[in-house]
Amino acid sequence: MRLTTKGRFAVTAMIDLALRQGNGPVTLAGISERQKISLSYLEQLFGKLRRHKIVASVRGPGGGYRLARPMEQISVADIIVAVDEPLDATQCGGKENCQDDQRCMTHDLWTNLNKRMFEYLDSVNVADLVAQQKHKSAEVSVLHDGRQRPSPRSEGLAATA
């Protein structure tokens, strides 16, 4: 089981969109250029995201895409499901027929892993990922500012003080 580029690219594109939608609709061409994802691939992904009412398209000059609901209400699991990303660690696809048409000895293990993965991805929303990106950008801008960023050790000490 692994997350394919379809799921990775969809999540990445959604973060890019969420970071920039405050300036109006975001074009797929812009996302494609910034994230180095094929425009035609993004068109396919965003068609699926639109059908699942995760994004909305804005037509005309200055058009593009925007989030269809608040970013706090869009989980990573929503995105993965919308683009038909399989998240299944079982060999049988959940059909319980993986070993001579019978359930294998590790079926419950992989089924529980599937459940935990989905629960985790459902617990992370786009707002969380946007906040992480903004935090990272703030750290980078401090470094480019010429000031020295505190070491992780001193940050930990300051947090506990």
What is the domain extent for residue 52? 5-151
Q: With DSSP H G I counted as helix, E B as strand and the rest as coil, what are the percentages for the chain, rounded to 5? A: 60, 10, 35
Return averaged pLDDT per consecutive 10 residues of the chain, 161 residues in all. 82 98 96 97 98 96 95 96 81 73 83 90 97 82 55 44 39
Q: Give a yes or no: residue 160 inside a domain.
A: no
Question: Locate tokens 């180095």: which residue?
Answer: 36
Count structural domains, the chain. 1
Query: What is the predicted pLDDT for the residue at 138?
Result: 73
pTM for the whole structure: 0.78
Q: Give a yes or no: residue 159 inside a domain.
A: no
Task: Read off the pLDDT of residues 4-35 as tens digits, 9 standing for 90 and up.
Answer: 889 999 999 999 999 999 999 999 999 999 99
Q: Give a yes or no: residue 157 inside a domain.
A: no
Cα separation of 102 and 95, whole Å? 9
Query: What is the predicted pLDDT for the residue at 160?
Result: 42
Nearest Cα to Cα of residue 149 among 141, 158, 159, 160: 141
Q: CATH number for the domain including 119?
A: 1.10.10.10
Query: What is the predicted pLDDT for the residue at 2?
Result: 59
Query: What is the predicted pLDDT for the residue at 96?
Result: 76
Query: What is the predicted pLDDT for the residue at 156?
Result: 44
Query: What is the predicted pLDDT for the residue at 147?
Result: 58
Q: Give a yes or no: residue 57 inside a domain.
A: yes
